Structure 1
Amino acid sequence: MSPPPVESQVQVLTDLYNSIQNARHFPRDLLKTATVSNALPLTSPSLSLYSQQLKDIAQNLRSDAVQTALRAAQDSAKADGKNITNNVRRENRKRRRPPSPESPQPYTATEQQSSSLFSSSKDDVAPLKSQELIEYIRQFNKEHSSCKLGIWQATRSSSKDLKNPAILRFSIKDVLTTYLTVSYTADDPTLSVESVTAFGPRERKLPHSQSEYSVYRTLSQEFGRMIHSDPQVGLQRFMTLLCSYENMFTMRCEKCQRVLCAEGHVAAVQRVWNENKEYWEARHVSC
């Protein structure tokens, strides 16, 4: 007698599978055959129906058609089922799982780089102390004919005591006037620049006010940005920056090669230190 077609065997097993899945919704105590008589009476019509369906499933499972289909499926799996997984859903889930993150790497200490925008060629100059300021001003004025540095006082006073903080007045003839606030501490007498405000050469303004001209207001903002990059910048290093503004209204921008920028027609008030050539490059803020 020839075996039944494969299609009929598949259909027999499919029907058996559906009936078993349907039986999963039966009352749980009914499936425990050992405690059926104690748990629930079978006098209920619905329970009698469930019981009859379970008997039908058992009888169907022992039938020749189902047993033949099961043996055929088992033989087919042994013949060519080496690469067949028994849980395709789980395999797909594993495949979709994102890769595990890399293990944390040990911390590697990196050398902190200075964010200062000031020149580094003056680092070998000894920091200026508060008691050396007067002599430094005298020497500076001797070496610079077009620039002048002095101590600013609100009123004409004969007192020669240096206040802390002190306000210095720096000017370049026909170019600008700036007021520098410098200070020191009792533990460290080294002078540091706290703030700088720029004005026009003929403006009569107090150090804590602001200029009427946008170019000098922009210049004051640039000074603030420079100080923010190095809050402990010394007076000597800052003076090298101020002296670079002697030709502020004639120097060309290193980027666009224009004296005035295309937008706003403002001079190149920004300065960038060139380490290779060791000089301050003029640039427009917009460049």
Structure 2
Amino acid sequence: MSPPPAVESQVQALTDLYNSIQNARHHPRDLLKTSIAPNPLPLTHPSLLLYSQQLKDIAHTLRSDAVQSALRAAKESEKADGQNIMNNVRRENRKRRRPPSPESPQPYTVIERQSSSLFPVTKDDVAPLKSLELIEYIRQFNKKNSSYKLGIWQGTRSSTRDLKNPAILRFTIKDVLTAYLTVSYTSNDLVLLVESVTTFGPRERKLPHSQSDYSVYRMLSQEFGRMIHSDPQVGLQKFMTLLCSYENMFTMRCDKCQRVLCVEGHVAAVERVWNESDGQWQPRHVSC
């Protein structure tokens, strides 16, 4: 049902007035300068004359009978039923509809980074060995273990007993292997750290910087390199515990396939995996 013609004309009159006022509100900032502002526009400026005429037209329209009649009718209608009339309709209509806000970011949770070290962390870990304690450690180590022998390797005979930095240690397991360990320390931290390990057959006469003629010992050297890479701060004592687990390297069965030699390559279990339940290094083939 369409509204009466009188109502349509009143709505149109108020709409035209509203549009005129909105256009007048967009005057340039020069029009808002006061007489004390620097370089004000002269009153005879064409822009001011145009805006002045526009305001006069709005005032004339506002005083017209059609607009005044429409305003009175709107006021009477509001008194009769003003429940659904909002005082801020224009502002609500002009407000941009914002898209739904995304979910608030969750608070940052610190995740403890798991260690990538292949070496165990146990309650029985002793204090790290320092360079000045190495000689005494070697003496005690050789006294406790008859099958192992640890010593400082020197390329040439030297009258001095001062420890070089880095130093090379020679470790042997009778009839199993010979290993050369490169250990070093810094002036700020005297703790001995293992840098590299090279292994050879028990009867090979090789220099520490060379490599074995046997693939099993070359694979073992690579395995030690992988272990050290997982924890560059591994100390000498902890690494010696790993080395001693190779005493029965050629007779121990892989904890995965339960074979002494792997199917591919027929190589012994040169890899070691720490078992938390029994606190022991378990042998494993590289291919397993």
| TM exceeding 0.5 | yes
SS of 2:224's partner is helix
What amino acid is aligned across from residue 110 of structure 1 in structure 2? I
Q: 1:103 Cα shift? A: 5.8
Instruction: Look up the match of 1:215.
Output: 216
Q: 1:158 Cα shift? A: 1.9
Q: 1:111 Cα shift? A: 1.4
Aligned-partner Cα distance in 2 for 1:245–1:119 = 17
Instruction: Look up the match of 1:141.
Output: 142
Instruction: Look up the match of 1:202.
Output: 203
Aligned-partner Cα distance in 2 for 1:191–1:135 = 14
Q: 1:121 Cα shift? A: 2.3
**Unmatched 5+ stretches in structure 2:** 1-100
Contact residue 122 and residue 237 of structure 1 kept, 8 A: no
Aligned-partner Cα distance in 2 for 1:101–1:188 = 51
Aligned-partner Cα distance in 1 for 2:234–2:141 = 18
SS of 1:163's partner is coil
Q: 1:119 Cα shift? A: 2.3
Cα-to-partner distance string for 1:140-187 (whole Å, 9 max, x where unaligned): 000000000000000121210000000000000100000000000000
Aligned-partner Cα distance in 1 for 2:114–2:223 = 22
Instruction: Look up the match of 1:115.
Output: 116
SS of 1:168's partner is strand
Instruction: Look up the match of 2:241.
Output: 240
What amino acid is aligned across from residue 179 of structure 1 in structure 2? Y
Equivalent residues in 2 for 1:156-175, closer than 5 Å: 156-175=157-176
Q: 1:248 Cα shift? A: 0.2
Cα-to-partner distance string for 1:206-264 (whole Å, 9 max, x where unaligned): 10111111000000000000000100000000000000000000000000000000000
Aligned-partner Cα distance in 2 for 1:256–1:277 = 19
Runs of 4+ in structure 1 deviating by more than 3 angstroms, as ranges, are 100-106
Aligned-partner Cα distance in 2 for 1:251–1:171 = 18
Aligned-partner Cα distance in 2 for 1:213–1:137 = 28
What amino acid is aligned across from residue 177 of structure 2 in structure 1? L
Instruction: Look up the match of 1:268.
Output: 269
Identity of matched residues, %:
82
Q: 1:122 Cα shift? A: 6.2
Instruction: Look up the match of 1:128.
Output: 129
**Unmatched 5+ stretches in structure 1:** 1-99
Contact residue 118 and residue 273 of structure 1 kept, 8 A: yes
SS of 1:141's partner is helix
SS of 2:222's partner is helix
Q: How big is the alpha-carbon RMSD for the aligned residues of Structure 1 and Structure 2?
A: 1.6
Aligned-partner Cα distance in 2 for 1:253–1:105 = 47
What amino acid is aligned across from residue 278 of structure 1 in structure 2? G
SS of 2:241's partner is helix
Cα-to-partner distance string for 1:36-59 (whole Å, 9 max, x where unaligned): xxxxxxxxxxxxxxxxxxxxxxxx
Instruction: Look up the match of 2:250.
Output: 249
